[in-house]
Amino acid sequence: MKSLRNIAEGLKLAILAALGVLQISCSDDACTLNCNGDLRYPLQIGYSWQYSGEERIINFRPDNDSITEVPLDTVRRWDLTLSISSSDTLDDGTIVYIIHEVQSEGDSLIAESYQYYGNKADGLYHYTDLSIGSPLLFFKTVADANTEAPNVDFARKSLEYPLREGLQWEYTNGFGYGSAGAIYKRVLGIGEQSVPAGTFECYAIAWFWENLPNTEHTEYISDDGLVRTVTKATNVEYTTYEYFDGIGLVDIVTEIRLTRSPF
């Protein structure tokens, strides 16, 4: 059984669920995405993305009939902003872009971080985070938060190039992710996703955890960058201050949608 405290860590990592209306097939004639595999994640100083986030706690199942404290389905919403503030060059010559990530609820700052990303010939790499709070958008744990330079030794491959349906790769061997273990990614296919910023043709990429069988996560990537993520955790133990060991199970669904792209 996982508590809501523990699942919060899982949500930072990411949790999968192909809940979207994804059309997995795409013919060569109809495909407007870089279907020949030349898509590269857009990294350039000055680019900025805005997102809306929503977390829903649903489907409460009490442990027994004596449970009277039944939680209502709850919804939490927040805003996310990503902006590329500057760049740096690693010792091996790789150019990395520093993405400033801000999560807020109304006028309140919830979390802030700086993520280091760089494109190489074989993929998009995430090097490290310098974080205040807990980054949510890319679902990364805080790695080397006190360092002043990207940690090249443990770079994670966020995307593998060239992207194509059926491609699978190891995102991490589990280092820095605790009990979650190794994480693999797989390209499910290409299809349209409609979000507040518009309709985008996207690669759907699912995450798979070695030790989190009840979690699902799918991210949708287009020429404009990250368009949408959908995350689902099932059979999560619902805890309260009075009942610390839990009073039943819930499901948690988290969705992030692009509201403004830099293009």
| pLDDT tens figures, 203-217 | 999 999 888 888 899
- Is the pTM higher than 0.85? The answer reads no
Query: For the residues 113-123, what does the mean pLDDT come to?
Result: 91
Dump pLDDT digits (tens) for 162-182: 999 999 999 887 665 556 678
CA 172/CA 163 separation, integer angstroms: 18
CA 239/CA 142 separation, integer angstroms: 25
pLDDT for 215 = 87
Secondary element (H or E) of residue 8: helix 4-13
